[in-house]
Structure 1
Amino acid sequence: MSVSVARFCLDWAEMHANKDLQFVIKLSFGHFWRLRNQGVPLSHNLSAMDMIEYSYPDCRGMKYLEEEDCRFLIVLESFDCYQTSLDWQNAPVINDNHTKAHPDVLIVNIIRGTVLRGARLWILGRRAAASQIPTQYLDVVTEIQGFSDEKVDQFLTLRFCDAALSTKIIRQFKRIPTLSIIARQPFMSWMVAQVFERCYRYRGYGEHPPRLTPFYLNIMIIQTNRRLQFYHGKMDHELKWSSDEKNLVTRIGKLAFKMLERNTNVFFEEDVKECALKPTEVTVCSGMTTELPYAASGKRTYCFIHFSLQEFMAAMYVFTMFRGESKNVLDTGSHKPKIFKFKDQTKSAAGLVQCALTRTLAAPLGYYEMFLRFLCGMFSPDCHDNMLSGYLYGHKMPKMTGLDDVQRLLEQTIQAAEENQRDRVENLKECLREMIQEDE
């Protein structure tokens, strides 16, 4: 999205497009959020012009935006960085660009159109965040997807000299709709090539095609091994994970879980340190996160290379704590589901999944669905027993028990959802497919 905005601004500045616009002003919800939470005089009492002048000091005292014939665009980036609910119904109305108000109120009025009246607004953010804006304030919704499906196929076809291998990989990843959508991001297309090319080295691969969770497990393993090779000079035969690698992966998962609970995909250095991690290890060397261009605040901001990877790492952390330490980090101890007669039953495999189901079904649609799907996928023996043995767990780790109870719980939840929560049914079926690693 940032690249799209930069391209738009450059084309306008060089007068290649949108020549009818006199000004293009780019603001960030990240700036609004930081101002809202800082103890400076501007923080809880600012006007629209204060915000523009804060971001662009050269605009101080500019009167053009109030002229009726002034045509300008306000680009508001990173709506998901504004981490609180906005009161669209009850926020007081502001009718001019100089009235000061709390940032929550100011944002509502900018989007309503009562402030910066002549502006066209372009709001950017993840779908889950942007969907909270009432539809009456939206004229057009556009989803930026990166590669088209044809470009993904072209990339995978040209990447390999072996045409038969390319054909196999394209057929494989297209089986799973979620993976087909994710692959539209160029980095994920590259990862599709990396993962499937690696997997097809093994005899018999593809006869029983794996689903989504094994793909993400491979991403985690590949990126961690590349870290060992690139930063630590390890050879292919030396890629045995030490306790440092295991702790790094688990703590990155803990970071992902904390961000998921906060319903945000951005984090800062203090968040990294809270999880007993070194910022450089996470933000540079892990291969799973990237830095965001919010340099104006002076605060370095990061996110996972894809939001679905954050959801996967969060699920991996929850499962690892259960598998390795017999802890159910989803059990808050307050509202125990009625199916548990005894306290210790929440520490069973079905107890962990029940806590995840309770949390998912109580949240708005789209918040925990992929997390639940990945967590269920972890209970597949192919994932937790075969793929992670020798990496996160020793080869002599005892077999998991209670998997039949997990499958029965998912089947019962699907039956109940078909009567009461039909919008949840398909994802619950996907969770079951991930657990048994079968398409039907």
Structure 2
Amino acid sequence: MCHIPVFCWISATVLEHMLKRKREEMPKTLTEMYTHLVVFHTKQKNEKYLGKEETGPHWNKESILSLGKLAFQQLVKGNLIFYEEDLEESGIDVSDASVYSGLCTQLFKEECGLSQDKVYCFVHLSIQEFLAAVYVFLSFINNNENLMDKLQTNDKSEVTFYKGAVDKALQSETGNLDLFLRFLLGLSLESNQKYLRGLLTNTRSSSKCLEGTVKYIKEKIRENPSPEKSINLFHCLNELNDHSLVEEIQSFLSSGSLSKPNLSPAQWSALVFVLLTSEKELDVFDLKKYS
């Protein structure tokens, strides 16, 4: 991913900050990386503009929820550029929009369009997707409100919430919820929730929920969705720190026994994921080895 400039910027920003501190383990997932990015820039904003020390409470809950609501509403609509009415719909006072832009320069920016009307956007779509996931996650954990369920069914369990999000992402023909889903599932881990203190009024994280979510994702992989959807589901498992299917394929690769007459579609998807995420360069891909 680091051939994309914005990911180079994100990686460099987060790693530089963490290497200076030398107190925390390096991020291993995309959710961890983006969580650290937003935490870092929020602290930086507080120190620069509000005079708060880094050790103090760093989250401005109202700002994060307002930006998250805007991010989610516009993500669902497929919008990357926002206008004044969009901000108002999300509860952001237009007269304060420049304050949001100024305080969160690295996350949210204000520009003038061709008609000289002010338009707004996040620095990158992935920032919008992450903040949208944070907003949906907080709405569920704090208020027991499932924004992914328009009918608001009576089943408010965690597993149902995450299953519904998986279904919504799979139903999207454009893939606009793929990265959002990865972030949302990543936020379900307690290891990531600890960075959201000040935003969370409740905490929900159980091994039973994790096991149920992982099991459901594996079931969806075995239902043979499109290759793109299947690969994204493997990324979702990675965000949940579950590598069982990938390890199964890796063991076949290392033993040279990945030559069954008929690999299942799930195994093919796992093979593709392994090849895409492998740190080793593959000069030649001999398909005959796997058929």
Q: Is the 8 A contact 2:112 2:119 kept in 1?
A: yes
1:191 aligns with 2:6: no
Alignment equivalent of 1:240, drawn from 34, 57, 62: 57
Q: Which residue of 2 aligns with 1:202?
A: 22
1:425 aligns with 2:244: no
Alignment equivalent of 1:415, drawn from 212, 219, 225: 219
Q: 1:282 Cα deviation (Å)?
A: 2.4
Alignment equivalent of 1:379, drawn from 175, 182, 188: 188
TM-score computed with the length of structure 1 as normaliser: 0.50
Post-superposition Cα deviations, 1:377-424, rounded to whole Å, max 9, x if no partner, equal: 00111101x2222x3236xx4x42455334433333333333431422
**CA distance in 2: counterparts of 1:230 and 1:270, whole angstroms:** 30
**CA distance in 1: counterparts of 2:76 and 2:187, whole angstroms:** 20
Q: Which residue of 1 aligns with 2:196?
A: 388
**CA distance in 1: counterparts of 2:3 and 2:88, whole angstroms:** 33
Post-superposition Cα deviations, 1:196-236, rounded to whole Å, max 9, x if no partner, equal: 12223234624xx5211011111111121122122223333
**CA distance in 2: counterparts of 1:313 and 1:403, whole angstroms:** 25
1:218–1:203: structure 2 CA closer, same or farther, 3 Å change rule?
closer
Residue aligned with 1:312, SS: helix
Q: Which residue of 1 aligns with 2:75?
A: 260
Pick 1 or 2: higher relative contact order, CA cutoff 8 A, min separation 6. 2
Post-superposition Cα deviations, 1:308-334, rounded to whole Å, max 9, x if no partner, equal: 010111011000111111111111118
**CA distance in 1: counterparts of 2:88 and 2:149, whole angstroms:** 24
Alignment equivalent of 2:125, drawn from 275, 290, 307: 307
1:297 aligns with 2:115: yes
Q: Is the 8 A contact 1:353 1:406 kept in 2?
A: no
More helix by share: 2
Q: What count of residue pairs does the alignment treat as equivalent?
A: 239
Post-superposition Cα deviations, 1:18-50, rounded to whole Å, max 9, x if no partner, equal: xxxxxxxxxxxxxxxxxxxxxxxxxxxxxxxxx
Q: Which residue of 1 aligns with 2:266?
A: none
Q: Which residue of 2 aligns with 1:230?
A: 48
1:240–1:306: structure 2 CA closer, same or farther, 3 Å change rule?
same
**CA distance in 2: counterparts of 1:311 and 1:204, whole angstroms:** 25
Residue aligned with 1:361, SS: helix
Q: 1:299 Cα deviation (Å)?
A: 1.1
**CA distance in 1: counterparts of 2:186 and 2:98, whole angstroms:** 30
1:437–1:418: structure 2 CA closer, same or farther, 3 Å change rule?
closer
User: What letter matches 1:270 in structure 2?
Assistant: E
Q: Which residue of 1 aligns with 2:164?
A: 355
**Structure with larger Rg:** 1
Q: 1:432 Cα deviation (Å)?
A: 1.5
Any gaps of 5 or more consecutive residues in structure 2? 248-291
**CA distance in 2: counterparts of 1:402 and 1:344, whole angstroms:** 20
Q: 1:248 Cα deviation (Å)?
A: 0.7
1:403–1:267: structure 2 CA closer, same or farther, 3 Å change rule?
farther
- What is the aligned-residue RMSD (CA, Å)? 2.4
Q: 1:189 Cα deviation (Å)?
A: 2.7
**CA distance in 1: counterparts of 2:169 and 2:71, whole angstroms:** 16
Q: Which residue of 2 aligns with 1:58?
A: none
**CA distance in 1: counterparts of 2:174 and 2:207, whole angstroms:** 26
**CA distance in 2: counterparts of 1:436 and 1:369, whole angstroms:** 17
Q: Is the 8 A contact 1:265 1:307 kept in 2?
A: yes
Q: Which residue of 2 aligns with 1:364?
A: 173
Q: 1:430 Cα deviation (Å)?
A: 0.9
Q: Is the 8 A contact 2:31 2:239 kept in 1?
A: yes
1:330 aligns with 2:129: no
**CA distance in 2: counterparts of 1:262 and 1:355, whole angstroms:** 18
Q: 1:298 Cα deviation (Å)?
A: 2.6
**CA distance in 1: counterparts of 2:195 and 2:47, whole angstroms:** 20
Q: 1:373 Cα deviation (Å)?
A: 0.5
1:406–1:344: structure 2 CA closer, same or farther, 3 Å change rule?
farther
Q: Is the 8 A contact 1:417 1:425 kept in 2?
A: yes
Any gaps of 5 or more consecutive residues in structure 1? 1-177, 335-342
User: What letter matches 2:219 in structure 1?
Assistant: Q
**CA distance in 2: counterparts of 1:286 and 1:376, whole angstroms:** 25
Q: 1:181 Cα deviation (Å)?
A: 4.3
**Structure 1 segments of 4+ aligned residues over 4 angstroms from their partners:** 437-440
**CA distance in 2: counterparts of 1:309 and 1:419, whole angstroms:** 31
